[in-house]
Amino acid sequence: MSEFRIERDSMGEVRVPAKAYYGAQTQRAVENFPVSGWPLAPALIHALGLVKLAAANVNRDLGKLTGSGKNPLNEAQVKALLQACREVADGRFDAEFPIDVFQTGSGTSSNMNANEVVGNRAIELTGGDRFAADKPIHPNDHVNMGQSTNDMFPTAIHVAVAMGIERRLVPALDRLRTVLARKADEWDKIIKIGRTHLADATPLRLGQEMSGFARQLELSVERARRAQKAVLELPAGGTAVGAGINTHPEFGRRVAEALVKESGIPFVEAANHFEANAQRDGLVECHGELRTIASTLFNVANNIRWLASGPRCAFNEIKLPDRQPGSSIMPGKVNPVMCESMMQVAARVMGNDQTILVSGAAGGQFQLNIMMPVMGQTTLESIAILAGVTNAFVEFCAEEMEPNPEACEASVEGSLAMVTSLIPYIGYDESAKLAKEAMRSGKTIRELALEKRILPEETLAKALDPWGMTEPKA
């Protein structure tokens, strides 16, 4: 068998790998865009399959596929078309999507890639010759019926992003929230010193500090939900410019309903197809929430890294599990590698947000945004790596980290900020004088206050009780 076969499109003949399910337009794009070697994310390929499946089901139900148009399909062909779409959605043909992500800005190349693969696979399923020049199940006339890349490719992006948030990101964030909340409860009896501005502050409990991190993750789950909400409107039904040429008036609504049944996610038809085709503001909003989640994860990981610093020459208030040797030259050194991994992912997502922002602001002219492939790919990357690193952080760090009560409590008594609780008794100015004298003398606030007899011993003991400083007092 020859290494190549000849396929034809409206521009003429193209040599295509002999066994490929894709055809001429896919091959042209492969040759035109030898840029990065990065194909579409599998999640986006699968979403394209789902969108084609929804469209085919709607066109079947509306009688369009089997109607009186050019080359109507019979029931067996329709069944094969639906099965081929399902197989793409299930990931069976990921290798048949070789086009670089940095391609035509509408995603036409990848939309036609999906149309060609689905069409040829459907022909094969009916016992036909998928290599033949005459296509009984045509990539444009049948697979792409009632559709344009301009509305269906962004629909696939929205579907992939919403599903990624639902199935990957939200569970990962909630998993970390659960662990941190449990640690907050378990560590609530451990007193430590606060460090506002990285300087000694008043006491708090280690559990209270962890509860702040847990709340950050709780808010991150809420932000992920808002990110998903921003992409629930689907452009399907707008076709070329938003006017809906060559499609049924009910197509967009029915496609959205079909995708709800497939995914369980409450997609809806776009309120305005001209906005939905032309602009990707929903993706910009969505990724802005992802950027905020990244900021939170960076902050939590960095704080845990600092709290675990040491073990002998820094804070060492938390003990992290040993994951790997930390140095090629210093024996016994172990580093907070899971924190560092999470911080790097967060930095990447923050950078990704700039790509999304520029693409959304500058890429939408008149009736079409021409930066869609990179916007879809970048958003899906952010979701994937945020979910991946959060799960890894839970499994290899958060679950096994332990408190170091001795290190936590060691510095509490020595903090000059202990004087803060004396303000209600002796006032701010006298308290400040006491703190400065304690600093000069090297004595603790308690030692100096006892020496000066500024309060009765019983009153002083109550005022300088570290536990009492961790809660409001009436």
Unique residue bearing structure tokens 């992920």: 224
Strands in 151-243 per DSSP E: 191-193, 203-205, 233-234
Please say whether the beta carbons of 151 and 185 come within 8 A.
no
3 state SS of 104: coil
Q: Which listed residue (197, 211, 431, 441) is catalytic?
A: 197
Q: Is 197 a catalytic residue?
A: yes
Based on its alpha-carbon atoms, the radius of gyration of the chain, rounded to whole angstroms, reads 30
Name the helix (H) or strand (E) containing 365. strand 364-365
d(CA 123, CA 207): 63
327, 359, 415, 421: the active-site residue: 327
The answer to whether 421 is a known catalytic residue is no
- DSSP letter at 268 equals E
Closest CA to 464 of 440, 438, 315: 438
List the beta bridge partners of residue 13.
Answer: 8
Contacts (Cβ under 8 Å, ≥6 apart) of 418: 202, 203, 412, 444, 445, 446, 464, 466, 469
Rounded to whole angstroms, the Cα distance separating 366 from 275 reads 10
Q: In terms of Cα–Cα distance, which of 291, 282, 430, 422 is closest to 350?
A: 291
Closest alpha carbon to 465 in 203, 189, 196, 185: 203
Q: What is the dihedral of CA 96, 100, 105, 110, to 10 degrees?
A: 0
Over the range 234-243, which residues count as b (16 or more CB within 10 Å of their CB) and which as e?
A: bbbbbbbbbe
CA distance 223 to 359: 22
Q: Catalytic amino acids?
A: 197, 327
